[in-house]
Chain A
């Protein structure tokens, strides 16, 4: 299984509608609206890199999404 963070920059004015669309995507595990360089951080859980490409593509197709940067998790420690 592959976990990744998709760091998203949004165009102003469309965030609420875009978040509603993001919540419908199956492999999206968590959506965090943040303050800083990025606007939304999305955690994705997929079976393969192909599937990851499909999810990032779906995210980029959402109206309001300006730019995405994908960070694939290589190793993780969590509580």
Chain B
């Protein structure tokens, strides 16, 4: 099936956001009623998570027709079957796994500090968009445009406003966890999962199902090391409490981890299509989806009742509008183009290819046989930026004889 790439991206990111909001409410219930120790909850999540993720992966590895697996049919067309981690994946899995371990423990800490209300906790994690924009400008040679910065700030401030309403208090300790623990860890988690998704394994795009399973495995290893070291240093017994919680509340944690598995698989697939900051911005819509789930668990007295103060309701409404505006603004501003290039004789192809690849906004350089020598794919937020940052730079390359710009009006892609 071929659908417009943009629709697929939004469908994946929104599905991930809805599932994530539902799981946050489930986590809040477990944290409030069964596993009150955030360290123990973190340990139990990953220990139970490994078994559950493995089981899901084995089910999706079942071959159906034409040699394709169940997972490839219904979840990710790149998936073949469960496999071991490849050598080239290890460093990315180590960093993404470490990020996941730290952010999960930080998340449960925040949840227990903010009265177990997911609609208050989830928005804080959206500040990661700002971190991601800074990181991407360094690692992906893709400087953010004014529109990207504006939209990210709108989403971030909106998310913060949505988070204030229920308890009405923000402590310094929770801010430290948000800015120095959860969000930097999320940057690692997100950037390196994207790198994994962009890798080619056996000539095919890497699949989200194996990436998720191995991420849980690496995160489990790091969680055990972090919690174990903390226990040794402080004389606490969180690790043992985590093992006990894994056994006593296995089915609750298993339910949470099996649902979140799909949220992350869709998130990883979206990461393979869009930049990490934009994927995160769309996924920030989870703050809106968290509200009805919070109302449900508040109705059952699992968390304190919602405020009826009109000022707080107004703040929450403004925050919600800002999040939606920010996401829409991201969605409507992306231009793509092909540039066909002919080169002069006497210049090495490899050298020209490297020069083209170094230009900001170039996402693909193909040396081709035919009437042209290179086909370059470009992504830019504005035409002005396309001229200033791309065309001018192409013209500066001596080897280039002539070029033709073809703006993309609409695009479909095989999924």
Q: Residues on A close to B: CB < 8 A? A: 1, 3-5, 7, 19, 23, 28-38, 41, 69-79
Contact = CB atoms under 8 A, between A and B. Distances in A.
A71 B372 contact: yes
Contacts of A77: 353, 357, 364-365
B interface SS class? strand
A75 B190 CA distance: 29
B343 to A, nearest CB: 13
Contact of A79 (B364, B406, B411): B364
Interface of B: 2, 140, 198, 203, 336-338, 340, 349, 353, 357, 363-372, 375, 377, 404-414
B411 A31 contact: yes
B364 to A, nearest CB: 4
Given A69-B370, A71-B372, A72-B368, A34 B409 contact: yes
Contacts of A69: 370-371
B405 A36 contact: yes
A interface SS class? strand
Contact of B371 (A33, A71, A73): A71
A78 B363 contact: yes
Given A75-B353, A76-B365, A76-B366, A35 B409 contact: yes
B140 to A, nearest CB: 7
Which 7 pairs from chain A and chain B are nearest by CB? A36-B406, A71-B370, A71-B368, A34-B406, A78-B364, A76-B366, A75-B367
Chain B CB within 10 Å, residue with most, of A19, A41, A74, A77: A77
Given A34-B408, A41-B338, A29 B370 contact: no
A28 B353 contact: no
Contacts of A38: 406
Contacts of A32: 336, 338, 408, 410-411
Nearest to A31: B412
Contacts of B203: 1
A41 B349 CA distance: 23
Contacts of B340: 7
5 contacts: A23-B2, A36-B405, A75-B367, A76-B364, A78-B363
B406 A41 contact: yes
Contacts of B414: 28-30
